[in-house]
Structure 1
Amino acid sequence: MDCTAHSIEYDVASNKFRPLTVQSNTWCSSGSVRPDGVLVQTGGDRDGALKARTFSPCDDNQCDWVEINNGLAKRRWYSSNHILPDGKQIVIGGRGQFNYEFFPKTTSPNVIALPFLAETSDKGEENNLYPYVFLNTDGRLFIFANNRAILLDYVKNTVVKTYPAIPGGDPRSYPSTGSAVLLPLKNLEADKIDAEVLVCGGAPKGSFILASRKRTFVKALDTCARIKINDEDPQWTVEKMPRARVMGDMTLLPNGDVLLINGGSAGSAAWELGREPVLVPDLYHPENSVNSRFESLNPNTIPRMYHSTAILLRDGRVLVGGSNPHAFYNFTGVLFPTELSLEAFSPAYLEPEFAKLRPKIKSPKSQSTITYGMNLKVKFEVAGKVKGPVKVTMVFPSFTSHSFSMNQRLLVLDNVRVERTSSVFGALFGKSRNYEIQVRTPRSAIIAPPGYYMMFVVNQNIPSEGIWVRLQ
């Protein structure tokens, strides 16, 4: 067998890995975590394009990938997945596929046409691959491709809203690869929940053709666009980033900030087409006013170009890896060698000076099950002071590929009550102060699909280590 596809199970705490077996080509595939914690991966290239694969976690090192032949009705390469309120996945688009389907297959038609994907496909560039897909708080899907978006009722197969194009008209999806997140969802008990999408970076129209045919590498886009998707008349607000970025990753942090990391400042996605690595990560503060939302962080030293990735860890760090702009492994004689290392990026909230402010969750225990619409008591301790509103956040695990973290979702739970449970005398003798916060869990699977979430307590913008909870 050749080495076009690999898989490992990585133990973050011990920094050890266990090789797994992939039996078909997973290149440029997509996926999501099922409500029962099973990872589902769909599609890929060549013999993998119609496959679905599942990986069920285990404690005895015996679990491995299970392949499902013809798990898909259409060949899916560069498509996007999203978990739905019923626990199924929708699989949208892919190269030459202007349609969507469900996994596992439903009683509805196996394949449903989505003309929007054809309308956003530029000749020669496409720019509609790996579309940005988010479950809106009304149960419909926000789908972004190229430079515009729709709101899709996937049950009725009806486009219920068409959004204006991003000002400037430049594309933001593959191969003009930017990134996107659904900003933290708050006030979950409200009748109408605000939902905002942030799209950052990308490459100007024509960048892919100029890079691939003429070896001309155009400067990437240096703007973000933000929109309230439930407004009566939604409009994009455009703001400048500290630097241009294509192929960057956007990761939601437990305190609600957004990390922008990886990528280049010129060229396009695809083999050998990116230039000028961006080594400086940027932090985006959604709650700040326009023009005061970005903060530049300490640079790294390893270029993370095409085929790089970033994902949030339970301890609050961000795992960063990859970079292989080549069709094979090339370690010498190339502009950007194949990169096999992993890095852990530690946001400022992990600095020693904030250790006393960092909460530690005492209950519920990790792996606990919670239900919709319940009052949940979360007990935690803090060595220092608790100030201002304490937040409890829940983060759904993402499937990250090609600068888009599918299913990434952060919920800020509504607080009911916070009270201190330890005595004053204990604090005088240097013991941590104990607190109990009562929060309301999301009321429905439309707001928070069922499954496993990382739960954090956030004090003065400093998050605890997360615990896993299963919402059902």
Structure 2
Amino acid sequence: MTVAPFFYLLSLLSLLQRVGSASVPLDRTGWEATADSFHAGNEPAKAIDGNEGTFWHSEYAPDNPLPNTITIDMKGNYIVNGVSIQPRQDGSGNGRIGQHIIETSVDNSNWNRVAVGAYVNDATTKKTSFVARQARYVRVTAVTEAQGANNHSAAEVNLIDTIAPAYTAPNPSKGLWINTVDFPIVPAAAAVLPNGKILLWSAYKLDDFGGGNGFTQTAIYDPATGTSTQRTISNTQHDMFCPGISMDFNGRIIVTGGNNAEKTSIYNPDTDAWITAANMRIPRGYQSTTTTWDGKIFNIGGSWSGGNGGKNGEIYDVSANTWSLIQNALVSPMLTNDRGGVYRADNHAWLFAWKNGSVFQAGPSKAMNWYNTVGAGSTTGAGTRANDGDAMNGNAIMYDAPAGKILTAGGAANYQTDQARNNAYVITLNNPGQTPTVTQTAPMGFARGFANGVVLPDGTVFVTGGQSWVEPFSDATAVQTPELWVPSTGQWTQMNPMAIPRTYHSVALLLPDATVLNGGGGLCGNCGTNHWDGEIFVPPYLLNADGSRRARPGISQAPGSLKLGGTFSVTTDRAVTAFSLVRLGTATHTVNTDQRRVPLTFTKATTGNVYSVTLPGDAGVVLPGYWYLFAMDGSGTPSPAKIVKVLQ
């Protein structure tokens, strides 16, 4: 049947400025849309009648089967980069869309998925943005009803599109942003779980923070299906906004402090349950934590919450469920010279577990330090990061752990209201306590603060989002062109731009299929910068010259657990030339102390694609716990990951 459109298309000002086009309402005369269901008296035309009191509704009876699919024919090609839905406004939640899929096409035959996800269950207008596509048709599949029923409804519909110069498809050699993922929260923190799913959380509200309210809004996103499920966590009495995050050796997510500054909560992926752990000795927020070689969690800094100053080191014994102060792990040597004082100066330390119970602090202060976490501990100065200054809200990524290699990039002298920098450096660690080597590498093309850095299986580093003038809860000066750094050349290459700004409170993580999720930003209530979504980036190593996906190697057989210092056998479905491990990441406020990469040595059997792979033996280098195992072919194309557990 032919029905009126169900959704309206939203053009983004930032995109329009980038492509030099104008956003104008389109004349919908002659447009058509087909759908599989509507109820007499609630025809789809009600969604475009200018009256919010009327609405479209799917067929009441017999029971309407899901999913419902609607295809809009615009009768011509347009540059499409958004969809928006206004739920019915009569006080009823009946028919609100939950899980959904959005696709575009130029011929009604070949479809490109541009968005998936779940909308939050309320009456606000839902907006989905994505990288611009040329399209004549838009197809929306409503997979579930947000309240669990089998029907759908929508109030007013409008359509706006972009009248632009001739569309030019993005160059695949610069990667592709393939689709948006709509989340039921604004994610300010995230962690990869051992099952490959992503744990996300905001604060006590879905889209805002404030106070220590004793509960947290969470979601779990499944990259394999595109689905997200939302849950309120109250049993731990912990508002986990602005925390420290670390993954322990058993894949549990240890979340400390934040709005309830003394609290520790643990998510156990084996049971899908949150449990209360011992309170910290020092209340904290904006601190950093890192898992150490012996499975404990080191914690330092964090004056954003729980009082200003004195946030010296302490350590969590996972087995005993106890926190202990480390008398000589001092926070004062790692303070920046922030104009906001210690409230800002001890935030978001760049921490890296290393050999013999040591932790290296690479920044964001220009001063670097070694922390000994055993017993009373110690603090030893490690020089400065060459000619770099304080780099608050910059990034530090361990891209080659056996070689002690850390890339640092961006940041600003002050936490906010300041110019970010594009400086980049390579730190090479030696033995604990020794001053590392620091070498300046090529600067990024863009100055960035509040960006995120992700190490990829081949050792390149992807830096995404941020803004050139750092200002929380603002998307002004957002940098929407990510960059890829190559260790062998020390050079950066600009990638294709994303659709949505990712600034303060954004996150980025490597996914099991070797793509990158970049999401969130905002979390400021009724502000204009809340981003209830993420975008998926496909790096160039997965793409052919025409944008199609490369054939990629597969790991046919590998053990589920690996022993430090041991050798294990891997069978692949074709010849490969490299193997690497990448530790599962956790991310919040530019900090990801869990991710690190380990290139692996190997020998090939005389017949077949069977390889004998050797794992380094130092637990300070290859932290026990869960890792992605990748195999790469001669073109540098990585396999999908096999998630393995490294044992002590």
TM-score (norm 1): 0.81
Give the letter for the 2:240 counterpart.
T
* Distance in structure 1 (CA, Å) of the matches to 2:496 and 2:356: 39
8 Å CA contact retained: 2:300, 2:331? no
Pairing partner for 2:346 from 128, 133, 139: 128
Confirm or deny that 1:285 pairs with 2:493. Answer: no
Counterparts of 1:311 and 1:258, CA distance in 2: 12
Match of 2:285 in 1: 77
Is 2:263 the counterpart of 1:51? yes
Pick the aligned partner of 1:360 from 535, 539, 554: 554
Cα–Cα, structure 1 residues 207 and 396, in superposed 2: closer, same or farther, change >3 Å? Answer: closer
- Give the whole-Å Cα distance in 2 for the aligned partners of 1:307 and 1:207: 13
Distance 1:453 1:228 in 2: 23
TM-aligned CA distance change 1:2 to 1:280, over 3 Å: closer
What is the match of residue 91 of structure 1? 299
| 1:413 is aligned to 2:629 | no
Query: Aligned-pair distance for 1:392?
Result: 1.2
Q: Flag the 1:52–1:198 CA change in 2: closer, same or farther, 3 A.
A: same
Alpha-carbon spacing, 1:108–1:276, altered in 2? closer, same or farther (3 Å) = closer
Distance in 2 between residues matched to 1:226 and 1:67, nearest whole Å:
39
The correspondence for 2:255, drawn from 23, 36, 41, is 41
Offset of residue 18 of structure 1: 2.1
Q: Match of 2:406, SS? A: strand
Provide the residue aligned with 2:399 in structure 1. Answer: 183
- Report the 3-state secondary structure (helix = DSSP H, G, I; strand = E; otherwise coil) of the residue aligned with 1:471: strand
Distance 2:615 2:298 in 1: 25
Residues 205-254 of structure 1 show CA distances to partners (whole Å, capped at 9, x for unaligned) of 3573xx2xxxxxx4320111222221866443223211111111000111
Q: 2:427 aligns with which of 188, 209, 227?
A: 227
**In the alignment, which residue of structure 1 is the partner of 2:169?**
none
Residues 275 and 171 (structure 1), Cα distance of their counterparts in 2 relative to 1, 3 Å cut: farther
Shift of residue 350, structure 1, vs aligned partner: 1.6
Inter-partner Cα distance in structure 2 for 1:115 and 1:87: 21
Alpha-carbon distance in 2 for matches of 1:401, 1:410? 19
Distance in 2, matches of 1:470 and 1:207, equals 37
Q: Which amino acid aligns with 1:308?
A: S
Cα distance, 1:319–1:296 mapped onto 2, change above 3 Å: same
2:247, 2:470 → 1: CA distance? 33
**Cα pair 1:394 1:412 within 8 Å, conserved:** yes
Provide structure 1 residue ranges, at least 5 long, that are not aligned to the other structure.
187-193, 212-217, 423-434
Separation of aligned partners in 2, 1:16 and 1:380:
30
CA distance in 2, matches of 1:51, 1:453: 27
What is the identity percentage for the equivalent residue pairs of Structure 1 and Structure 2?
Answer: 24
CA distance in 2, matches of 1:183, 1:471: 18
**Whole-angstrom CA distance in 2 between matches of 1:271 and 1:301:** 18
Is 1:14 the equivalent of 2:225? Answer: yes
Amino acid at match of 1:16: T
Does the aligned pair in 2 maintain the 1:263–1:306 contact within 8 Å?
Answer: yes
Structure 2 residue matching 1:236: 3-state secondary structure: strand
What displacement does 1:280 show? 0.5
Residues 395 and 409 in structure 2, CA contact (< 8 A), matched pair in contact too: yes
1:394 counterpart SS class: strand
Q: How far did residue 267 of structure 1 move?
A: 2.6
Q: CA deviation at 1:127?
A: 3.4
The runs of 5 or more residues in structure 2 that have no matched partner are: 1-202, 210-215, 304-308
Change (3 A) 1:377 1:43: same
For 1:149, which of 346, 368, 375 is the aligned residue?
Answer: 368
1:246-304 deviations in whole A, cap 9, x for unaligned?
Answer: 11100011111100001111134x344x631101110001122x4xx211111111111
Conserved 8 A contact 1:93-1:117? no
In structure 2, the residue matched to 1:380 is 572
Change (3 A) 1:21 1:103: farther
RMSD over equivalenced CA pairs, Å: 2.5
Decide whether aligned partners of structure 1 residues 360 and 167 sit closer, same or farther in structure 2, where only a CA change above 3 A counts: same
Amino acid at match of 1:163: G
Cα distance, 1:33 vs structure 2: 1.5
Rounded Cα–Cα distance in structure 2 between residues aligned with 1:258 and 1:112: 36
Indicate the residue corresponding to 2:509 in structure 1.
311
Secondary structure at the counterpart of residue 65 of structure 1: strand
Separation (CA, whole Å) in 1 of partners of 2:414 and 2:287 = 22
Secondary structure of the 1:349 match is helix
Question: Which residue pairs with 1:202 in the alignment?
Answer: 411
CA-to-aligned-CA distance 1:169-211 (integer Å, 9 cap, x gap): x2112xxx1111112134xxxxxxx3122210012x3573xx2
Return closer, same or farther for 1:370/1:297 CA change in 2, 3 Å cut-off.
same
Please tell me whether the aligned partners of residues 334 and 368 of structure 2 are also in contact (alpha carbons under 8 angstroms).
no
Aligned partners of 1:317 and 1:345 also within 8 Å: yes
C-alpha separation between the residues in 1 aligned to 2:360 and 2:262?
Answer: 25
Partner Cα separation in structure 1 for residue 477 and residue 633 of structure 2? 38
Contact 1:21 1:64 in 2 (8 A): no
- Measure the CA separation in 1 of the matches of 2:410 and 2:258: 25
Amino acid at match of 1:196: K
Mapped contact 1:98–1:113 kept (Cα < 8 A): no
The offset of 1:121, in angstroms, is 4.1
Q: How far apart are residue 165 of structure 1 and its match?
A: 4.2
Question: What residue in structure 1 maps to residue 583 of structure 2?
Answer: 396
> CA offset at residue 371 of structure 1?
1.2
SS in 1 for 2:612: strand
Task: Specify the SS of the correspondent of 2:640.
Answer: coil
Aligned to 2:241: 27
**What secondary structure sits across from 1:403 in the alignment?**
coil
Query: What does 1:157-168 correspond to in 2, within 5 Å?
Result: 157-168=377-388
- 2:610 alignment counterpart: 436
How is 1:166-177 mapped onto 2 (pairs within 5 angstroms)? 166-168=386-388, 170-173=389-392, 177=393
Q: Which has the larger radius of gyration?
A: 2
Aligned partner letter, 2:563: T
TM-score (normalizing by structure 2): 0.60
Tell me if structure 2 keeps the 8 A contact 1:98–1:118.
no
Structure 2 residue matching 1:21: 3-state secondary structure: strand
Change (3 A) 1:234 1:370: closer
CA spacing shift, 1:21–1:104, aligned 2, 3 Å = farther
Q: Deviations over 1:417-464 (max 9, x none)?
A: 113634xxxxxxxxxxxx111111121312212111110011232111
Q: Per the alignment, in what secondary structure is the counterpart of residue 262 of structure 1?
A: strand
Question: Residue type of the partner of 2:265?
Answer: R
Which residue identity is paired with 1:66? Answer: I
